[in-house]
Structure 1
Amino acid sequence: MKEIRISDYKVENHLKLSEAKTNVDLNADKKQLENALEDTRKQLGKLQDTLYAHGKYAVLVCLQGMDTAGKDSLIREVFKDFNARGVVVHSFKVPTELERKHDYIWRHYIALPARGKFGVFNRTHYENVLVTRVHPGYILGENLPEVHSTEDINERFWDKRFEQINNFEKTIAQNGTIIFKFFLNLSKEEQKNRLIRRLNKPNKNWKFSPGDLDERELWDTYMHCYEDAINRTSKPHAPWYAIPSDDKPAARLIVAHILLEELKKYDDIKEPELDPEIKAKISEYKERLQSE
């Protein structure tokens, strides 16, 4: 199998999505990819146990991508071997009435993982500079003091919003949250194929919405907004990774590999040392239990 090099996916320089790969050949068949993922996710599961015991870091995994990019199945397959108490998944839909009464980051802030846990955001705070930028009328629903019409939603507005997002991520990173942001880069042709499969399979029909086709017509606009958002917010403390996602098994393995290898760099994440007095009496405790 071809080596997975994290530098091939990490956004450290200006990203041009028109030139970014949506498919990658890892020189492995589907079974080999699945076996490699199984091994990697088991290692991730063990690492999460240690993270939980250590209790000083949280891990936030952000997933963004166009409809059908594979976010749901990636979450299912990559985190399958985690202890259920150690990972919490949040899928953010249209904001509720309560959520709209707060700033747009509020609902994401209160969903952040506690120290010792993984949090997975299926769609994220970036929806507020993606969907709302494509459909600026949605911003009016936030009832902001300085926004009276879509004419007020100008470049200065978006500059301010990107600054807020960068400040949010910087704050949580400085307080112990390790941030990963994955853009599942799907080709327009593969999205078409996946939408057709949803229509052809009765048990998948429920996933289809006519609105998917309306959004698909705005593909180029979405790509512009994604490219701008990624380039403005990929920082050393909160990097973006552009993952070729036309091949789901390969995309899952790449994401799992990045998580594992990057987290291994935190060599201070260790199980806590047992209290010396307790450690010195382990044999005594064993004897007491065995003599019952």
Structure 2
Amino acid sequence: MNDFDAYKIDQQRTRRLEEFDTSVSDRPTDDELKNKLIPESIERLKELHWKLYAEAETGVIVVLQALDAGGKDEAISYIFSNLNAQGLKTNAFQKPSEKEKKHDYLWRMHDLMPERGQVGILNRSHYEEVIAPRVHDLLGEEAIPDETDKEAVWSMRYRQINDFERYLHENGFEIIKFFFNVSKEVQRDRLLERLKDPKKNWEFSFSDVEERQYWDDYQAIFADMLSKTATEHAPWYVLPADDEWYARYIVSSVMIDVLEQIDPEFPTFTEEEQEKIDEAIRTLESE
């Protein structure tokens, strides 16, 4: 398997998005990725996922973050939709309900978490709480302690998110985070495609275009977020999202690597259970 550590951030240190390419030349062709590498990786991923589900000891949480048209939905369609549905939990992170607003901002995350044996997909996640509110100065709409300095809220939330992810990790849930690093030019082209192709109109939102005026703000906040919330137990992978097929291949390959480290196995019978199995076989065969 390829080494994708070049895309990995697993410690908290200042990084700029400019350090990560949105497209790379030294990679397999799209045809090779589509027709050989990705299908092969999906088969291996399916095998490991079945074992994870059958063993039911460890869960995996996959965080997908990006600007609109970054490629999150397509990664879910081409990679994760091939997995056993019973062992998969997919969530699209939405604006908080009135009930959720009455709780702390991480409260609603527990209902979105997978069970042991499941892979949980977060299409956007708790990281939204340190992105859009910061870009649009929406913190005034949220209930925060009066004594909290608003300028200190973001570093506080980074610490809280890191603690939350450590808590999950220490309780048997592996966390993998993917950031789809798309260029402004490619995002524009994909948005235009959604507008011009009637089959893709449903994917388009006028807010997608409006948000482009905040591009530089988003890039700065993404860089800060990645730098402050990358840890050994919950690393970020910054994907070259202009190369959509290669980005999907990185996702599937990293998933395989994590599952191989978990090393799940199908449950085996005890000696007593095996005797009952043998007896059941004899009973059925003698009918």
TM tier, smaller: over 0.9
What TM-score does the superposition give when structure 2 sets the normalisation length?
0.93
Equivalent runs, 1:127-206 vs 2, <5 Å: 127-137=128-138, 139-146=139-146, 152-154=149-151, 156-206=152-202
Aligned length: 284
CA distance in 2, matches of 1:90, 1:98: 18
Where 2:95 maps in the other structure, the secondary structure is coil
Q: 1:255 to 1:26 in 2, by over 3 A?
A: farther
Moved more, 276-285 or 43-52: 276-285
Q: Distance in 2 between matches of 1:231 and 1:197?
A: 32
Offset at residue 103 of structure 1 (A): 1.1
Residue of 279, 288, 292 corresponding to 2:283: 288
Match of 2:94 in 1: 93
Contact between 1:65 and 1:183, CA under 8 Å: does it hold in 2?
yes
- In structure 2, what is the equivalent of residue 24 of structure 1? 24
What do residues 49-73 of structure 1 show as CA deviations (whole Å, max 9, x unaligned)? 1111221110000000111001111
Separation in 1, partners of 2:106, 2:6:
30
Distance apart, 1:26 and its partner CA: 5.2
Distance 2:274 2:14 in 1: 53
Corresponding residue of 1:39: 40
Shift of residue 272 of structure 1? 2.3
Structure 1: which 5+ residue stretches go unaligned? none
Q: What displacement does 1:258 show?
A: 0.7
The structure-2 alpha-carbon separation of the partners of 1:52 and 1:95, relative to structure 1 and needing over 3 Å to count, comes to same
Asked whether the 8 Å contact 1:101–1:142 carries over to 2, the reply is: no
Gaps of at least 5 residues in structure 2 are none
Q: Secondary structure at the match of 2:20?
A: coil
Classify the secondary structure of the residue corresponding to 1:179. strand
In 2, the alpha carbon distance for the partners of 1:65 and 1:214 equals: 16
Deviation for aligned residue 1:101: 1.4
Matches within 5 A, 1:264-275: 264-267=260-263, 269-275=264-270
SS in 2 for 1:39: helix
Preserved CA contact (<8 Å) 1:41 1:80: no
* Aligned-pair CA distance for 1:118: 0.6
Identity of aligned residues (%): 38
> Which deviates the most, 208-217 or 218-227?
208-217
State the distance in 1 between where 2:65 and 2:239 align. Answer: 10
TM-score calculated relative to the size of structure 1: 0.92
Higher relative contact order (CA 8 A, sep 6+): 2
Tell me what 2:228 maps to. Answer: 232
**Over residues 81-130 of structure 1, what are the superposed CA-to-partner deviations in whole Å (9 max), with x where a residue is unaligned?**
21111001000122111211111111112211111101000001001111
Structure 1 residue 153, shift from structure 2 partner: 2.1
1:28 and 1:167 map into 2 onto residues whose CA distance is 38
Q: Which amino acid aligns with 1:114?
A: E
The answer on whether the counterparts of 2:27 and 2:246 sit within 8 Å (CA) in structure 1 is no
Instruction: Tell me how far apart the structure 1 counterparts of residues 275 and 38 of structure 2 sit (CA, whole Å).
Output: 40
